[in-house]
Amino acid sequence: MCVDVSVTSNINSQLEFAQYMLEKQVELFNQNLGSEFEKKSAENQVKSIEEMILSFTHFGKMPDAQRVECDLDSFLHEFKETYSPILGQEIYVNSNIKTLVSIDKKLLRDLMYNLAKNGVEANPGENIVLSIDAGHSKNCVTLKISNKGKPIPQPLVERLFEPYLTSKQGSNSNMGLGLSIVKKIALDHESDIELIKNEEGMVTFLVTISV
């Protein structure tokens, strides 16, 4: 498995900090000090920190890629049928790959879902039209995953796959781990992901998977 050591170290240090903060908030809450407003605030912070710890733990426990040969066309259309209702968006698949490819179906599904979910959350209430274009050569499979909508803010682009980086607001932002998970899945497939289009009206990621 290919692992970015700096990412793993950062995850561990942030997890230790989150656990420390959780212990402090629980201690304050149990002391029953302050007004009802302060108690409610402490309770909400405990819940938020617990969610953060769950996100860190999930990232750290992601399994190694278990690649098997599969029909990529069928896999992509199954993804469309399953996740279009979940995301509340149309997903268009353009694929005509006739050969079997070696992938970890669960992890690749997670990768595509995280990219799609990121696009949906960045454009709340919008019909962003998700699309997946698949290509195949002798040594690799490529997936272009696109959504209509706002571009990613330029200050974030160079640090796009760092953990905890997010432009989304509120506790549902999952601490910006979505694209870090995407990057880790790509690395575990001996593959890569890059942002190839980022303009008003269209954002496109290119996933290149070695086969």
- The model's pLDDT over 136-185, given as tens digits with 9 standing for 90+, comes to 887 888 999 999 999 988 888 888 887 655 555 443 343 345 687 788 88
Task: Please name which of 211, 203, 149 lies closest in space to residue 179, comparing C-alpha atoms.
Answer: 203
| Residues 59-78: tens digit of each pLDDT | 555 567 788 999 999 999 99
104, two tokens? 């970890």
Q: Give pLDDT, residue 1.
A: 38
Give which of 133, 120, 118 is closest to 183, Cα–Cα: 118
- Residue-level pLDDT at 133: 95
Measure the CA–CA gap between 194 and 161, rounded to whole angstroms: 9
Q: What's the DSSP call for residue 32?
A: T
Could you give the percent of the chain with pLDDT greater than 70? 63
Residue 42, classed as helix, strand or coil, is: helix
The span from the CA of 124 to the CA of 126, in Å, is: 6
